[in-house]
């Protein structure tokens, strides 16, 4: 099993969620986050004062998937989150040692 974590632009969340649901992903965790990569922030003007925004708002999505579904999930996220502009985000894949459904005690693939 793998944990797939994607950091994407806010306005792409619904499109990514729908695309993942369409390929059978049954659940996800979504967190609003701030950060920077190569984009390194930007300048904004508020009430005539210019200031630098160093941490940009993004959305982090986490989904647990079986090993055989990882490539499909990666492709779906890339296709639905891509705008072609700087700041589209990143995807990280981690090994997932164990999953336990609290309500039933199911483990592994059955708990996803």
Query: Over the stretch 65-77, which tens digit does the pLDDT of each residue have?
Result: 999 999 999 999 9
Domain 2-111 CATH class label? alpha beta
Q: How far apart are CA 61 and CA 59, in angstroms?
A: 6
CA atoms within 13 A on the CB side of 78: 8
Higher-pLDDT residue of 109, 50: 109
Examine the pLDDT at 35 and tell me if it is beyond 70. Answer: yes
Give me the pLDDT at residue 80, please. Answer: 97
pLDDT band, residue 96 (cuts 50/70/90): very high
Average pLDDT score over the chain: 90
pLDDT band at 112 (very low <50, low <70, confident <90, very high): confident
C-alpha distances out from residue 31 to 59, 83, 101, Å? 6, 21, 21
What is the reported pTM? 0.85
7-27 core/surface letters (b: 16 or more CB in 10 A; e: else): bbbeebbeebbebbeeeebee
């Amino acid at each position: 099993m793998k944990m797939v974590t994607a950091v994407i632009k806010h306005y792409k969340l619904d499109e990514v969620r729908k695309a993942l649901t369409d390929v059978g992903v049954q659940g996800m965790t979504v967190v609003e986050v701030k950060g920077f990569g190569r984009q390194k922030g930007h300048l904004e003007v508020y009430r005539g004062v210019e200031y630098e925004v160093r941490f940009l708002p993004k959305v982090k999505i986490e989904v647990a998937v079986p090993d055989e579904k990882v490539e499909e999930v990666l492709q779906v996220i890339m296709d639905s989150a891509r705008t072609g502009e700087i700041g589209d985000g990143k995807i990280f894949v981690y090994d997932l040692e164990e999953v336990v459904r609290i309500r039933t005690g199911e483990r592994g693939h059955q708990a996803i």
